[in-house]
Amino acid sequence: MNKQDFVIEMKKLGIELSDIQLNKFEKYYEILIDWNNKINLTGIIKKEDVYLKHFYDSSTLVKVIDFEEEQTLCDVGSGAGFPGIVIKILYPNLKVTLIDSLMKRIKFLKEVINELELKNINVVHSRIEDFGKLNRETFDVVTARAVAPLNILLEYCIPIVKVNKYFISMKGNISREINLSKKSLQILNSKILNVCEFNLPIENSLRNLILIQKQEKTSIIYPRKFDKIKKQPL
């Protein structure tokens, strides 16, 4: 996906990119490749692939949520900033929190934020289960991109979602994970509102966005410790 294709496909998502936003994406790519020579951030380094599989793919969240109507976003396991930084570029007024457990990635994220002059975006060095204990019912939208199986992700993410607000899981093939998550959805007082299945343009790889609404407050026993979540998923 070259930049012209990127602009065209973003228009199909209902997003008109400004020159300022396009310049930020270009700078983001340059920083990503520079840092990737020092630490392993992504195996995707070809420019056309980064624009398709990171920038455009992250933007597809708008298929299931209107960020103009939300105020806060938390990106769990943000890694190199996908989707959190991408969404922040697209929606500057959104207050964004990026969480990652690896300090090297935290330093990279801070560098990107500084170089792109992004405001109201916070980077947190923490495991999500620890963060979740201290930030219950805090965010309008929580998202995670291929971090863990859905039933495990739910326990990580639902506790920090406000009641009646949303968790969005970004996945490839999801049918088996949804079946395995019915119990955890029930325990965590949440329900699936929408499963949006589509193919990325150009290469046609499968993607799924699972929009989940939190309906009641989460019990204080969740999230549990990492070892217990891993050994005994809900």
- Residue 97: the pLDDT is 98
Give the pair of three-digit tokens for residue 137: 């019912």
Q: Is the pLDDT of residue 74 over 90?
A: yes
Q: Is the pLDDT of residue 146 over 80?
A: no
Q: Is the pLDDT of residue 100 over 90?
A: yes
pLDDT tens string 176-203: 788 889 999 999 999 999 999 999 999 9
In which band, very low, low, confident or very high, does the pLDDT at 92 lie, cut at 50, 70 and 90? Answer: very high
* Residue 181: half-sphere exposure toward Cβ, Cα within 13 Å: 23
pLDDT tens string 196-229: 999 999 999 999 999 999 999 999 999 999 899 9
Overall average pLDDT of the 70-98 stretch: 97
Alpha carbon distance 133, 83 (integer Å): 23
Q: Nearest to residue 42, comparing CAs of 112, 94, 127, 95? A: 112
In which band, very low, low, confident or very high, does the pLDDT at 148 lie, cut at 50, 70 and 90? Answer: confident
Q: Nearest to residue 84, comparing CAs of 101, 103, 63, 61? A: 61
The angle that helices 19-36 and 3-12 make with each other, rounded to 10 degrees, is 120
Averaged pLDDT score across all residues of the chain: 95
What percentage of the chain has pLDDT greater than the value 70?
A: 100
- Residue 200: the pLDDT is 95
In which band, very low, low, confident or very high, does the pLDDT at 163 lie, cut at 50, 70 and 90? Answer: very high
Tell me the residue length of the chain. 234
CA angle 166, 144, 51 (to 5 degrees): 115
Residue 223: cis peptide before it, omega within 30 degrees of 0: yes
Strand runs (DSSP E) across 45-175, as ranges? 72-76, 95-100, 121-125, 139-145, 161-171
Q: What is the dihedral of CA 110, 111, 114, 119, to 10 degrees?
A: -30
Give this prediction's pTM: 0.95
Question: Domains in the chain and their CATH numbers?
Answer: 66-231 (3.40.50.150)
